[in-house]
Chains A and B, each alone.
Chain A
Amino acid sequence: MTALWVWLDDEGGRSPGLAARMAGECARLAEEAGVRPCGVVAGRDAAEACCASDAANGLDLVYALTSTPAPSAAALAARLAAAIRSKQPLGVLLPATATGADIAGRIAAALERGLLADCVDLEWRDGGLQVRREVHDRCAHLALSPAAPPPWIATLNPAVAHANDFPKRAPAIEELGIAGADGGDAAPADTWRLAARELDVMDADVVLAVGKGVDAGTTLGTVFEVAERLDAAVGGSREAVFAGMVPRERQIGASGKWIAPKVYVALGISGSSYHLMGIRDAQHVAAVNLDAGAPMLERAEWSAVADVDRVVPAMRRLLAEERK
């Protein structure tokens, strides 16, 4: 029976829950196609971790490429390509993250296949795979299907991956023992996360945004300290940019950046309609403002009528006490 593969990786904890959602996507597509859903991971330890957690729900089998860790994405891709050549799955699904796309691009190039990249929809229709992807700066969608014989390589945008609602079960683990395949490219010399001052508001899970209600002289520095402790990025309203509190590239709103963080905290921002447009896609919004009638407090899921210049130092103190 032919199999459909999915790459299971939470990328060193950088993408929690991603492997489970990808497994769910693979299982759903495999069910429609009538093939066997299988996971692929780098090594035996990762396979056992996946099976112990919910990351392999819906899958029949998890392949471990090798027992030795791969030094780089290129080496990993070379091993995965060797496994694909050996087992001949129908297709391989990867997440369209930086690491997932890197591996997918290398595999597709090695196997001389086209890459169905960054798909926003995957479905099995008329006996074949049909995908949709965003093109022309997301102004249109393009429907694509693989024309070459299997295997096809596709990456799925993690933002559209459905939750994995398959019942919990521990699939079997098979070690493929692929060793020696090396992509030749160097491994990263080091990996790090940017400090709050450098973190782009587009990349952060938590964004603290400052507005006119924040005292640039006394409180702004404290906001950065709090952001550092919360792994948050600091942005600002247009007024904050005009006041020189944050640089232009950190402006949030219609004329700045349109952000989609998990948590957005508005500190001293009244919430003009143009600013609210920029946080339309934020999952959770909190606001602190002295003005009880500020539109931002209506938009926020949690709000407090208080002086930001008192609340932010209190946050810093509490976070410092926690660390002790």
Chain B
Amino acid sequence: MNILVCIKPAVPGTAIRYAKDSGQPYALETLRMASADAAALQFALELRAAHGGRVSVVSVGGERADEWLQHCLDHGADRALRIDELAVAERQDTARAARLIAPLVREEDVDLVLCASRSADMGSGFFPYALAAAAGFPVVTRVVEVGVDAGELTAVRKLERGWRERYRLPLPLVLAVEETLRAPRHVAMFSHDHRRGMHRTVEVLHSAAVAAVDASTTGLMAAALKLPQPRRRPAARQRAVTSARDRLRRKPAGAPALAPAAQTGGDADAIAAQLIAKIRSWLVRVTDESST
């Protein structure tokens, strides 16, 4: 089974700093591999161990990504490729990155493409869809469990509030995984040194040689980073509405959530009945607040 793992070494939240004078956020030069990228690589290595084939890792961007591609080689990937394209790294052009990787998917005769459901920096979650469309593969995102059997793949997709969907799909396809899929295993020192001794290097491909992609494909214009701020509350139309700031904080404006209430006493049965009624009334109230 030939697997292509797409990674995006990105600036994590821990590398965001705020200017002392203006409070304006700025990013340090630090790049990290997202946990979901590491989970995808780990899962790919396990699949290779079980079914054979090879694992290639690819990233689009500048040479700062090489450190993390080398890290993937050290972990056991067979090949690491970087498509040299500074414009993507600077403009966060997801669609362009996908179109640059799509020809590789065809050339490498890939059975399975693995990537993170969303990157650690921009986190739009659009990359898997853009890649699947460019490569002509089906796609399943937010995958938390995967099983492979006789050319068919079973993937469990995570929805909200504990809901799950199970898909059965033939290969090839694109799977965007969550970080909980696999915990990355640390490489044993012997294996690490052994692989380092093999002197495998990151292969660099120039974007123009890979695919002819339009100069601008994202269709989005980004401004500078800003301080996080709650959404402005719209003018009330008919009655007081719950502000979005409250919603961000999950505290409806009218709810006395922080006001300590009188403590209830009585026997266990009475308290149990009150607690059950309270939980149900709160659930109904929250739903009503959402819908009115």
CA–CA, A143 and B250, complex, Å: 23
Could you mark each residue 1-20 of chain B with 1 if its beta carbon is under 8 Å from any beta carbon of chain A, else 0? 00000000001111110000
Most buried by B among A233, A286, A307: A286
Number of interface residues of A (CB under 8 A): 110
Whether A191 contacts B278 in the complex (CB less than 8 A), given A159-B247, A185-B139, A304-B263, comes out as no
Is residue A165 within 8 Å, beta carbon to beta carbon, of the partner chain? yes
Is residue A277 within 8 Å, beta carbon to beta carbon, of the partner chain? no
Contact B260 A135 (CB under 8 A): no
- In A265-287, the 8 Å CB interface with B consists of 265, 280-286
Contact A143 B222 (CB under 8 A): yes
Contact A285 B220 (CB under 8 A): no
Contact A54 B161 (CB under 8 A): no
Could you mark each residue 50-64 of chain A with 1 if its beta carbon is under 8 Å from any beta carbon of chain B, else 0? 000010000000000
Is residue B190 within 8 Å, beta carbon to beta carbon, of the partner chain? no
Contact A139 B228 (CB under 8 A): yes
Is residue B201 within 8 Å, beta carbon to beta carbon, of the partner chain? no
Closest residue of chain A to B10, judged by CB? A136
Could you mark each residue 231-271 of chain B with 1 if its beta carbon is under 8 Å from any beta carbon of chain A, else 0? 11110111101111001111110011111110111101101
Contact A135 B123 (CB under 8 A): yes
Please choose the segment from B50-58, B75-83, B104-112, B280-288 that sits at the chain A interface, where 4 or more of its residues have CB less than 8 A away: B280-288
Contact A190 B166 (CB under 8 A): yes
> Could you say which residues of chain B place their CB within 8 Å of the CB of A97?
159-160
Contact A284 B257 (CB under 8 A): yes
- In A85-123, the 8 Å CB interface with B consists of 97-99, 101-102, 105-106, 108-110, 112-118, 120-121, 123
> Could you say which residues of chain B place their CB within 8 Å of the CB of A188?
157, 165-167
- In B143-181, the 8 Å CB interface with A consists of 157-169
Is residue A254 within 8 Å, beta carbon to beta carbon, of the partner chain? no
> Could you say which residues of chain B place their CB within 8 Å of the CB of A74?
138
CA–CA, A301 and B287, complex, Å: 18
Contact B162 A262 (CB under 8 A): no
Is residue A243 within 8 Å, beta carbon to beta carbon, of the partner chain? no
Contact A191 B164 (CB under 8 A): yes
Contact B124 A117 (CB under 8 A): yes
B10 to chain A, nearest CB (A): 8
Whether A146 contacts B129 in the complex (CB less than 8 A), given A140-B16, A300-B260, comes out as no
Contact A137 B12 (CB under 8 A): yes
Whether A108 contacts B162 in the complex (CB less than 8 A), given A137-B12, A139-B25, comes out as no
> Could you say which residues of chain B place their CB within 8 Å of the CB of A138?
13, 228
Number of interface residues of B (CB under 8 A): 103
Contact A283 B251 (CB under 8 A): yes
A149 to chain B, nearest CB (A): 9
Contact of B124 among A28, A115, A145, A199 (CB under 8 A): A115
> Could you say which residues of chain B place their CB within 8 Å of the CB of A305?
263-265
Please choose the segment from A11-19, A36-44, A173-181, A234-242 that sits at the chain B interface, where 4 or more of its residues have CB less than 8 A away: A11-19
Contact A147 B138 (CB under 8 A): no
Contact A137 B138 (CB under 8 A): no
Contact of B13 among A28, A136, A147, A161 (CB under 8 A): A136
CA–CA, A163 and B286, complex, Å: 12
Contact of B220 among A146, A164, A186, A317 (CB under 8 A): A146
Is residue B122 within 8 Å, beta carbon to beta carbon, of the partner chain? yes
Is residue A134 within 8 Å, beta carbon to beta carbon, of the partner chain? yes
Most buried by A among B124, B169, B250, B282: B124
CA–CA, A10 and B287, complex, Å: 12
Closest residue of chain B to A143, judged by CB? B223
Contact B166 A189 (CB under 8 A): yes
Is residue B22 within 8 Å, beta carbon to beta carbon, of the partner chain? no
CA–CA, A233 and B225, complex, Å: 36
Contact B248 A318 (CB under 8 A): no
Could you mark each residue 119-137 of chain A with 1 if its beta carbon is under 8 Å from any beta carbon of chain B, else 0? 0110100000000111111
Could you mark each residue 11-34 of chain A with 1 if its beta carbon is under 8 Å from any beta carbon of chain B, else 0? 100111110110000001000000
Most buried by A among B120, B121, B222, B275: B275
CA–CA, A315 and B275, complex, Å: 8
Closest residue of chain A to B121, judged by CB? A136
Closest residue of chain B to A25, judged by CB? B234
List 23 interface pairs A-B (beta carbons < 8 Å), by A numbering. A15-B160, A16-B291, A20-B292, A114-B126, A115-B126, A115-B129, A120-B231, A136-B15, A143-B226, A148-B219, A162-B242, A165-B292, A186-B169, A192-B164, A198-B162, A262-B286, A284-B257, A286-B278, A303-B260, A305-B265, A306-B266, A310-B268, A315-B272
